[in-house]
Structure 1
Amino acid sequence: MKRKTKIVCTLGPSTDSVTEIERLLEAGMNVARLNFSHGSYEYMEKILKNLKEACLKTGKSVAILQDLQGPKIRLGKLPEKGIPVKRGEIIILSTDGKSFNPLAGKMIPVQYRSLHKDVKSKDLILIDDGYIEVQVQKIVERKIYCKVKTSGVLKSHKGVNCPTASIKAASITAKDLADLKFGLKNEIDYVALSFVRKAEDIENLRKKLIENNHQHVQIIAKIERHEAVKNLKEIAKASDGLMVARGDLGIEIPAEQVPIVQKEIVRIGRILGKPVIIATQILESMIQNSKATRAEISDAATAIFEHADAFMLSGETSTGRYPFKAAQTLAKVAHAVEKEIQNRIYLTPNYLFNSSLSTQDAICYNAVILADKIKARFIVILTKTGYPVCQITKYRPHTPIVVITPHELVKRQLHLVWGIEDVLISGEKISSEDEAARLISSLLKKKKLAKTDQKIVIVNIGQRHNFITTVKI
């Protein structure tokens, strides 16, 4: 089933075997995500080994996305039954590093040791995905006195969000650095940085990649903090892709603002030619049920209409009961919606052409228009980095795309890019349009992708010889 929207699947207990990974590949997985908030290095090595074996067995390849945990703020260890809190009562969040002591009253340990410095009186603190809300009354040394606004039960290691404060914790933790080292050793293609606040966070991670001689690994900025929404354009320019992490984002900003911000993230990503992944609760009900709800299907379809590049399944494929069906469902939705978009262009109004274009953008846009007008069989893109591919796919061409690159890494990374299905490896040097035409005609015939007399549009941008040309096979 052909489709252009990509699917990222999180691998975990439900999908850590060769057999289950094979099924995900057959269902349509393009990118395998490893969530480093959970699991040991030994477990991750097992998954990577099985992923490699599954790819060999199926003849398919995927990109590997390492998702770093980041400075997630959590409560400390509490009694197994939890600590009940009632609306109106005062509790104390403590950053002194001490364990919970039942004799000290409702003094709740917090793992982030500087929280008392980052919040102030009247700030809201949301706990356990926002189900419990407290408001800061006063701060005395390392004790944060809070009034409970929403009753509930506090449990060990539940997440803490501060939507009215600016958390100053470093975006890359010591754990992240150790995890990154492990990921680079195991040849990851992408790394996702959690709780990004500003472009500098991305730049710091890129420095780490360069220091480790892995500058080719691309960075996905996870937009899940209110500060990131304010600094969205700068973050997008500094990163290689964006993820709409709707879980924490929906706690940091009002829930009704999330779809508005999602649309803006997709818009900015598309203008810059940066892939955008929609994440969190895509098909949440399929963790337990074999069918998605109508609302989930509509949510996914709407994101495709808005030109999102990819979806990410989390619990649906890592711990859910129906990982294969979840991936298959997304693939079916993408196929159906994309078919209608091609038949009814008015369903997706194009806003990229409302302003003047740079020279490179004009070249890319004209390649798309040319291919459409002459009814070309393919747009063929020659690239060493993959960059011009994103600059062409952002115009959402209906003409199929074939990419030719000398690098296996680029081939894997393009698994995340909208619309890319066929990537051919060739190390031949090209010094003219005639050489390009000869090489491409030969490769397409060899792979049985094109027939005699079919037209193709060849694009070579950002290299020594820039050109767009048409060729008849």
Structure 2
Amino acid sequence: MTSPISLNIGGGYKILRWLPPGPYTRFIGTLVPGNATKELVRSLATAGMHIARINFSHVLTDQDRAKVVNLVQTIKEVEAERCIPIGIMLDTQGPEFRIRRYEGNVELKEGGNLVIVPGEGATSAEKVYIRIPHGYTKLYDELTSQSSLAPVHILIEDGKIELEILSINPEHGIVCKVIRGGLLIGNKGLNFAKCALNVPAVTVADLSSVDFAFEMGGFSRGFQYLAQSFTTGIGAINFMRDYMLAKGTEDQLLYQGAKIEELFGVRNMEEIVSGSYFVMVAQGDLDAAVGADGLAAVRRRIMSLGRIYGTPVIIATGVFEGTINGFRPSRSDSVNFADALYGGASAIMFSGEITSSADPVSVMRSAVAHAKSTEEDPFRLQDFARYREAAQQLHLERIREFHRSGKSPQAVPHLSTEELIFAALGSAERMGSVALVPCTINGNSIRFAHKGFSTIPVVGITASERAFYRMLLYGGAYPVLVDRIPQDASEFFELVKGVVTTLKFAEAGQRVDVTVAYPDPTKFDVNMSTFINL
């Protein structure tokens, strides 16, 4: 048990919640409602889980939703016990195709035939029924068109089972040959490999999930993050944001992120990355969309855009796949993991590694150990220096463009904050500071520090719960929620000293750099950067 910390300064300020010193990388663990016990949640959080993900592809009934309510309550209780944040992410179903739930087990044999039928019915080794996006009626037509160009393959459960379409008949279904067999599990995902199908960008099930999140109380009482599956472009992002705005106030909106995992999303990746609070590279579905030979290139392009726009990138699906059937990551898992961190990924998301592993807590501990080893590599720090230089050049070019057009850069919200943070980062690292401490209202200072690829901890102090959870998305940021921000300058600096020493980010004799930035300098400009010798 950990309690809020009272600081013995001025007006008696309190640290309500905080992320203690630890790895740069964030870790997201998938939890199954009804299966995830309080002890498991507590153990995963202690081992290093920062955000819990709930996959709404498996939330289909009122009974499922009741289990979600119980799990969210459990997570909140564990968070309150420890005062260390556990964010909660709602991962939407999206316009996906899935095997219908069924009783028993069906083994598909290589070389056999299988008929796939949209709709409901009894699954067997000869016929399988699938769930398709609500309102989508062109499956047979679009598959017929695609099959006329090249053979179409179907991948089930991220390619564990592979089929090839032989014929398509709306009266009988989709006849397939089993290329790679295996145990067919109900409710597993199904992909039509490399096919761009014109399915709805947002489904009725997605909107129902958002309704459910707001019925639970929105941001403050339930979920903080919304991962929008199969995002096709900025239109889908804006549609979902407008829908959330119609349900509640700005303060209750979930931080909206996009999952890039199909061909339209790949084509529109820049507008998606620039318009999202975070992006998730869903490697399983993305593999089916672009092919295994194209996955690495697409992943690197998304991470590059994340660096440009300061958007946190989450690498998901099968990162530690070896732990699902074994007890340790394979060599290729370790390389996959490290490559994501060298590329600047903010977070790693685990799905089957947690839900299907015999020892999910060991998976999380292994991830933390891998992260620490990679993050200490001097070559990674050199990569970060290059990333920052590129970000600064883009920032300077934006300022020059405003001058060339006769406009004042100061009139642009957040541009002054970006300038302040980039300058403070450079000064802090040159002068040997052990931390940069932005005081932030909405988390934008942390976004710019992330964009600048800080090599020292960024300790974000805020009195806003929204800003606190936003900061949790950013690698290298350590959010601290206090009960209020002092208005008096001397008390403010005492608060900073109390936070960094109490939470062991710094000690006597060391220097920390501090920034304060108001979000809109056209209304009230109080941008400030200074340093404190402790």
TM (norm. structure 1) is: 0.87
Q: 2:302 aligns with which of 265, 284, 290?
A: 265
The residue type paired with residue 37 of structure 2 is: S
1:23 pairs with 2:52: no
CA displacement at 1:351 relative to structure 2: 3.8
Q: 2:338 aligns with which of 275, 295, 301?
A: 301
User: Which 10-residue stretch deviates more, 28-37 or 354-363?
Assistant: 354-363
State how 1:11-410 maps to structure 2 within 5 Å.
Answer: 11-12=31-32, 16-39=36-59, 40-76=64-100, 80=104, 82=106, 87=111, 93-95=116-118, 97=119, 99=121, 108-112=128-132, 114=137, 115-123=139-147, 124-128=152-156, 129-130=158-159, 131-135=161-165, 137=167, 141=170, 146=175, 148=177, 150=179, 152=181, 155=184, 157-184=187-214, 185=216, 186-215=221-250, 216-341=253-378, 345-346=381-382, 348=384, 350-354=386-390, 355-357=393-395, 358-359=398-399, 360=415, 361-410=418-467
Q: Distance in 2 between matches of 1:100 and 1:289?
A: 33
Contact kept? 2:116, 2:176, Cα under 8 Å:
no
CA displacement at 1:364 relative to structure 2: 3.0
- Provide Cα deviations, 1:200-245, integer angstroms capped at 9, x if missing partner: 1111111111111154311111111122111100111221110011
CA displacement at 1:175 relative to structure 2: 2.4
Q: Distance in 2 between matches of 1:43 and 1:79?
A: 21
Contact kept? 1:77, 1:99, Cα under 8 Å:
no
User: Which 10-residue stretch deviates more, 204-213 or 147-156?
Assistant: 147-156
Q: Distance in 1 between matches of 2:105 and 2:51?
A: 38
Rate the CA distance shift 1:383–1:455 in 2: closer, same or farther, 3 A: closer
CA displacement at 1:387 relative to structure 2: 2.2
Rate the CA distance shift 1:110–1:398 in 2: closer, same or farther, 3 A: closer
- Provide Cα deviations, 1:366-395, integer angstroms capped at 9, x if missing partner: 221111112224322122211231121122
CA displacement at 1:416 relative to structure 2: 1.8
Q: How many residues align?
A: 462
Rate the CA distance shift 1:19–1:111 in 2: closer, same or farther, 3 A: closer
User: Which 10-residue stretch deviates more, 397-406 or 458-467?
Assistant: 458-467
Residue in 2 that maps onto 1:5? 25
User: Which 10-residue stretch deviates more, 183-192 or 454-463?
Assistant: 454-463
Rate the CA distance shift 1:57–1:238 in 2: closer, same or farther, 3 A: same
The residue type paired with residue 322 of structure 1 is: D
User: Which 10-residue stretch deviates more, 176-185 or 148-157?
Assistant: 148-157
CA displacement at 1:43 relative to structure 2: 1.3
The residue type paired with residue 148 of structure 1 is: K
Rate the CA distance shift 1:444–1:136 in 2: closer, same or farther, 3 A: same
User: Which 10-residue stretch deviates more, 303-312 or 76-85?
Assistant: 76-85
Q: Distance in 2 between matches of 1:119 and 1:380?
A: 55
Instruction: Give the % identical residues.
Output: 24
Contact kept? 1:270, 1:394, Cα under 8 Å:
yes
Gaps of 5+ in 2: 1-20, 400-414
The residue type paired with residue 456 of structure 1 is: D
CA displacement at 1:161 relative to structure 2: 1.7
Contact kept? 1:199, 1:234, Cα under 8 Å:
yes
CA displacement at 1:438 relative to structure 2: 2.8
Rate the CA distance shift 1:444–1:143 in 2: closer, same or farther, 3 A: same
Task: State the superposition RMSD in angstroms.
Answer: 3.0
What secondary structure, in the 3-state scheme, does the structure 1 residue paired with 2:39 have? Answer: helix
What secondary structure, in the 3-state scheme, does the structure 2 residue paired with 1:353 have? Answer: helix
TM (norm. structure 2) is: 0.78
User: Which 10-residue stretch deviates more, 381-390 or 201-210?
Assistant: 381-390
Contact kept? 1:250, 1:258, Cα under 8 Å:
yes
Contact kept? 2:463, 2:484, Cα under 8 Å:
yes
Residue in 1 that maps onto 2:493? 441
The residue type paired with residue 244 of structure 2 is: L
- Provide Cα deviations, 1:160-194, integer angstroms capped at 9, x if missing partner: 32234332222332222222222232421101111
